Amino acid sequence: MDKRLLSTVQYNPLANNSIAEIRRITNAIENSWGVSLFEFKKDRTRMQLYDHALKCVTTTNKALCTALEIPVESACRFKRMLEDEGKLTASDYAVKCPITGSFAHLISTNTLEFSRLRASSQ
């Protein structure tokens, strides 16, 4: 591991939460689809990857982008397209993003999560 990256992780107060969240996302995808994240990513476009991953996990856009190595700019476009199609919903409430530490809304393409995300509080 690059020493500069390691020092950033050691001094970043969000680092432990970030690493745990990335592991949670990747484990959820791997468990749900029965293949490694590498295999999961191999034959899918970024849009398909984003959509399928959000069926397995409910998280913030930034956390998903970090775990899947998708540029945030692309993911924002995917998010908007899925919202317009009625396939994605965002929470009515904001939570603390495990990656940035800022408040953000949870997102999901899992229809079973839609009613929970639309609730006024968590």
19-40: pLDDT as tens digits: 888 999 999 999 998 999 899 8
pLDDT value at residue 116:
86
pLDDT reading at 5 higher than 80: no
pLDDT of 73 > 90? The answer is: yes
The kind and range of the H/E element at 105 are strand 103-108
Mean pLDDT of all residues belonging to the chain: 85
Which residue did the predictor score with more confidence, 120 or 59? 59
Which is more confidently placed, 33 or 79? 79
pTM of structure: 0.81
Integer Cα distance of 96 and 70 in angstroms: 20
pLDDT tens-digit readout, 100-117: 889 999 999 998 888 888
Give the per-residue pLDDT at 104.
Answer: 94
- Local structure of residue 59 (DSSP, 8 states): B
Cα atoms in the 13 Å half-sphere on the side-chain side of 113 = 19
Q: 66-79: b or e for each residue (b if 16 or more CB lie within 10 Å)? A: bbbebeeeebeebb
User: What are residue 13's phi and psi, to 5 degrees?
Assistant: -65, -20
Note every long-range contact of 64-67, with CB atoms under 8 Å and residues 24 or more positions apart, other chains counting: 64/25, 64/107, 66/18, 66/22, 66/99, 67/21, 67/22, 67/25, 67/26
